[in-house]
Structure 1
């Protein structure tokens, strides 16, 4: 299936590993140009060099003003414009809602909302002028059903979802779509770390936590990064031009709501 993004340029935030890399790889496989970003500059450049498409690797901490500005400038200098923006970033530390401080709350917004808003503000005007664009945020199933002991993630990602849902209606007539993709238990380093943290809290092994998690998923397994990347690529495609303002779950049936 031709997804209609050959020659389009995609900026994928935090794409040197995990779900960001999975999405970048899927987009490159469809012929899109890629801007790979991450704090590990050499890793970003190596990934870019190995992709089957034109790509650059940019060392940048997108949670800082200087890092974000430099990454945007590098993307525009190399490709002239960005057609596809994939919002992604590290998740905050686990913790309870009752234990949150005001500083914790501020940190959640600094991590999960402010950089995303800045990236959208940087690239959205060009998308609207060209009357074609895709904004896709990698979220969490916690947007649909808040997850225990992930209060900061639940809060910050829900705020991002509210912003993006509002934005989607405002730019739909310019042929710009805005969506979220919500992973469930995908086999990534982040998931492994969360399983290990849960194991320590309960005094069991990570294998016990993984087995319990698999049992709670109707599909009976963790998802693969390739499955997630393929779903993201479709939402970023020309074929998905009538899908906007949507939070799609890629979770093997984990969240038991429609």
Structure 2
């Protein structure tokens, strides 16, 4: 299937991680020119190098998305390298496991700035309305916790949900400019983040990580954790011209994990 992404400029955050890296590589495989942004320089460069080794166009960019003082300079760097940004993938790290109760106001503010305010600011700067472009894609990766809150991820459940309301509102505002805005939800995808959460649960409950992972896999209808490439393929479709009539949506990539309709 031709996705119409050849030579389009894509900016992917968290591109040094499991999900972000897979997304960056998948977009590049479809012909997009990808900026792999991450706070970890080595991880970002590893993703960019993998893209280039596969024959694609990739560039690493060190970027702490929560640092808004560098926002305009980084956006200018991306546009100077690959032109106007056609595809923006907002993918931030999550906060540590915590209950909802008992967190300090400072903790809420810090994680809000990192996970919510930063995403909104970057999107406003990267993809201003450009009528007639007919390709502008804002894809924001959140968590299945926005549909079914995950125990002991109180801060994540609350703050990521704010992005769902923002994305839905934005989609209605920019649709006539050829821009779509969608939320994508990972279920339990086999990344370092999921391993970390399994390790934390195992430690709390005095169990082995293998036991926790097996129990968790047993709750998923397809019986396994997802592969990052499966998540990335969904993002690539949403980024494509083929998905031009999908906007304001929340797309689950969860192997059927979320029980609600």
Consecutive unaligned residues in structure 1, runs of 5 or more: none
Partner of 2:67: 64
Cα deviation, residue 132, structure 1: 2.1
Alpha carbons 2:15, 2:47 under 8 Å: kept = no
Secondary structure, counterpart of 2:35 in structure 1: strand
Question: What is residue 21 of structure 1 aligned with on the other side?
Answer: 21
* Cross-structure match for 1:50: 50
Query: Normalised by the size of structure 1, how large is the TM-score?
Result: 0.96
SS at match of 2:160: helix
Structure 2 matches for 1:63-142, cutoff 5 A? 63-125=66-128, 127-128=130-131, 130-142=133-145
In structure 2, C-alpha distance between the alignment counterparts of 1:9 and 1:145, rounded to whole Å:
34
Matches of 1:84 and 1:127, distance apart in 2: 13
Whether the aligned pair in 2 keeps the contact of 1:62 and 1:115 (CA below 8 Å) is yes
2:245 aligns to what?
242
Which residue number corresponds to residue 32 of structure 2? 32
Give the Cα separation in 2 of the matches to 1:5 and 1:48: 18
In structure 2, C-alpha distance between the alignment counterparts of 1:67 and 1:20, rounded to whole Å:
21
Gapped regions of structure 2 (runs ≥ 5): none
TM-score, scaled relative to structure 2: 0.95
Tell me whether 1:150 sits opposite 2:147 in the alignment. no
Q: Which residue of 2 aligns with 1:253?
A: 256
Query: What SS does the aligned partner of 1:84 have?
Result: strand
Look up the SS of the partner of 2:128 in the other structure.
helix
Deviation sequence 1:127-178 (CA, Å, 0-9, x none):
4463420000011001111111001101110011111110011111111000
Distance 1:175 1:188 in 2: 33
**CA distance in structure 2 between the partners assigned to 1:168 and 1:141 by the alignment:** 20
CA offsets per residue over residues 85-143 of structure 1, 9 Å max, x none? 00011100111111222112212211211110111111221544634200000110011
SS of 2:173's partner is helix
Partner deviation per Cα, 1:34-71 (whole Å, 9 max, x = no partner): 01111222432342233132221111211112343332
